Amino acid sequence: MSLHHTASQEATRRTALRLLAGLGLYGITMPSIGQAFASDAPGWPEAAFKAKTQDEVLAALYKGKLEMSKDVTIETPEIAENGAVVPVSVSTKLPGVTSISILVPENPYALAASYKLADASMAMVGCRLKMAKTTKVIAVVEAGGKLYAASSDVKVTLGGCGG
């Protein structure tokens, strides 16, 4: 028990050091401020990504109500030692899936990622997200014009948003 604890503390310390080293690097190489005002990429749902709450995100992205569904599978670790890199995967057997969005309501902006699927796409996605603190993670699947959701709880021991 104590052995494991020491190892995890060491890992946390190393992660923190790496994070600091990385920050220094980006501090120096930041491009000029002017570029920060370039227009957003076409199709990027700005309002949804600027929304602070789950309800605002859903209103900006979708029409209709969310229904929790056993047919949506979300996988996350139970405990994330490093909130900067938390693997999340979402899949479903529901037919006619057109989009999959992943929300992290405890983050400053609730929407983390939204994926648009083509007819050829399989209904699954895996990615890595930052989580500021212990949070619920919500997967929203749009299928046949309806919204289905599943959620998972992640205990974050070192937040991934700087703070």
Partner 1 sequence: MPSIRMKAISSGDTTEVQALVQHPMDSGFVKDPSGALIPPHHIETLVFSHNDKPVFTAYWGPAVSKDPYVKFAFKGAAKGDTLQATWIDNMGKTDTGTAKIA
Which residues here bind partner 1, judged by CB under 8 A?
Answer: 20, 22-24, 26-27, 30-31, 33, 35-36, 38-45, 49, 84-86, 89, 104, 107-109, 111-118, 120-122, 124-131, 160-163
CB 45 within 8 A of CB 114: yes
Element holding 55 (H helix, E strand): helix 54-61
Nearest distance from C-beta of residue 1 to partner 1, angstroms: 30
- Least spacing, CB of residue 26 vs partner 1, in Å: 5
Least distance (Å) between residue 28 CB and partner 1 = 8
Residue 134 corresponds to which tokens in the numbers above?
């212990």
For 123, the 3-state DSSP assignment is coil
State the minimum distance, in angstroms, from the CB of residue 77 to partner 1: 13
- The smaller minimum CB distance to partner 1, of residues 3 and 34, is found at 34
Nearer to partner 1, 3 or 59 (CB): 59
Which one, of 138, 137, 131, lies nearest residue 159 by Cα? 131
Question: How many other CB atoms sit within 10 Å of the CB of residue 132?
Answer: 17
The amino acid at residue 88 is V
